[in-house]
Structure 1
Amino acid sequence: MVVVSRNLRSKLYLIGSGPGDPDLLTIKAYKILEKADVLLFDHLVNPEILTIVPENCVKVYVGKEPYANFTPQESIHSLIEQYCRTYKCVVRLKGGDPYIFGRGFEELLFAEELGIEVEYIPGISSMQGAGFHNIPLTHRDVSDGIWALTGTKKDGRLSSDLQLAIQSNSTVVIYMGMKKLDEIARTYVMCGKGDTPAAIIQCATLPGQREVVCEVADLLNASRDSGLSHPAIIVIGEVVRLYASNRNSFILNDQLAKMKRN
């Protein structure tokens, strides 16, 4: 690998753009975007955020659309090297937070190996979007913590940690799991916890946000019946019942799902 001089004046900023609503962007991220020379942005970045950069900023889409076209990570690395050789302020803008299933640390390691200075600016993770649906990720006497798991590992498998998480008294949040709803449900059922409350939240914090609440065993049917798809997170645990108990939606969705199966 060709090593870039340590005297290179460019700087790479790894910035999280949050779950979608541009108002949730941090002030520090906003200030950096205002002076960006290059913007390498992901699929889930709100287009409104792209208008913050200067008019002469070079904007390059490097998104990974789920189950569709994507930019290989190696290509993103090459673009980082290319633009950091020419421009002073290069921004790598990701949805959510760069270090939560965002491969941000891979890009940091790559850039630092080339001698490029890197600064990480966190973003609100999409799992925190559950709060916009009045689902707390933790609650005293209900949830002891949070398991944040990927629904699709590099080899395509569901995280094996799910079976450990099921045995805990904590909330389980699954990213990139919409293609694994049946497998997630079966895993809970096999562990004797198919009646655990669950929610699918699509496009959290955006005007078109939607959710469905059901028992975890009914995840697939509930998703199909409501027409929900990605981008979405899956929240599983007793914290979902707190949301549902205030609206009777858990009971209603459960009854509808059972009626349709019968």
Structure 2
Amino acid sequence: MVYLVGAGPGDIELFTLKAVKVLQEADVVLYDALVNPEFTKFCKKECLKINVGKRKGKHLKNQEEINDLLVKYAKEKNIVVRLKGGTPFVFGRGYEEVKALKKIGVTPIIISGVSSTTSVPESFMIPSIDRSFSDSYRTITGHDIELFNEIVTNYHKRENLIIMMGAHKAKEIVNSLLKKGFPKTTPIAYLSKGTTKDQKCLIFTLEEVFKKDEDFFEELKSLTPIITFVGETIKAFEE
């Protein structure tokens, strides 16, 4: 059996009971860079644990190599766990791994995790939806600014943007939002390492970030992983 398992946003206590049970039985675990390393306490002593983490500019394994490892161990081991940050199919390239396994006749079992897209803002008391401020939210990747520009076309006062992997494009993202008509007073929060003991929240307006110097943006990069939250419900945090 092969399992694609969500490890949640960082806090080890946000692992699901189902995830813990599968880890206790696993013969091999291939885990991501953002997975809390304490997961090993759930594993049996003889379990093989392989770090296949990918971070900006630092890939221990590329995606094709990860797929190959999954196929290899699916043939060799009884229980294989692919442990992914958050939940497998939200910016986790999980379905690429599913397709690689299906080519050899293996259909993995998916165990959803607590998604960082909502749990991290919640850890800072920022709701994704709040009837006083918003009716909807969108989760968007921020690492490709051209794609971001295609997706975010205009301003909706009662819609929040939850931008993943945007720390290295923070300046370009703010410039883009202002050009698309977002008011200068729109709140923006940078949520670093949410749900962990090192979590940090930085709140500004778009205009304030626009005026920041390069040192600020370099500091943001050092705080990754960061979720960028744009929207009026940030004001709920301030009340």
1:150 to 2:133 alignment: no
CA distance in 1, matches of 2:177, 2:207: 7
Separation of aligned partners in 1, 2:194 and 2:165: 14
Q: How far apart are 1:168 and its partner, in Å?
A: 6.0
Among candidates 228, 232, 243, match of residue 226 of structure 2: 232
Query: Are 1:34 and 2:28 matched, yes or no?
Result: no
TM-score w.r.t. length of structure 2:
0.91
Partner Cα separation in structure 1 for residue 21 and residue 97 of structure 2: 21
Tell me the residue number matched to 1:242.
Answer: 236
Shift in Å, 1:226: 10
TM-score, normalised via structure 1 length: 0.83
Where do residues 69-84 of structure 1 align in structure 2 (5 Å cutoff)? 69-84=59-74
2:85 is matched with 95
Aligned-pair identity in percent equals 33
In the alignment, is the contact (CA less than 8 A) between 2:155 and 2:181 conserved in 1? no
Of 14-23 and 64-73, more deviation after overlay is shown by: 64-73
Distance in 2 between the 1:165 and 1:46 partners?
Answer: 37
1:137 to 119, 125, 128: 128
Cα root mean square deviation, aligned: 2.0
Kindly indicate whether the alpha-carbon contact (under 8 Å) linking 1:186 and 1:217 is maintained by their aligned counterparts in 2.
Answer: no
Counterpart of 1:224, as a letter, is F
Aligned-pair CA distance for 1:158: 4.5
Name structure 1 gaps, 5 residues minimum.
Answer: 1-10, 247-262
Q: Is the 8 A contact 2:160 2:229 kept in 1?
A: yes
Matches within 5 A, 1:178-197: 178-193=167-182, 194-197=184-187
Which residue identity lines up with residue 128 of structure 2 in the other structure? L
- What residue number does 1:22 align with? 12
Change (3 A) 1:145 1:241: same
Hey, what does 2:166 align to over in structure 1?
177
Deviations 1:168-201 (A, max 9, x none): 6311000000011111111121123232101000
Contact 2:174/2:209 (8 A) holds in 1: yes
Aligned length: 233
In structure 2, C-alpha distance between the alignment counterparts of 1:217 and 1:99, rounded to whole Å: 34
**Which ranges of 4 or more aligned residues in structure 1 deviate by more than 4 Å?**
none
Residues 73-94 of structure 1 show CA distances to partners (whole Å, capped at 9, x for unaligned) of 1000110111011101000001
Q: Which has the larger radius of gyration?
A: 1
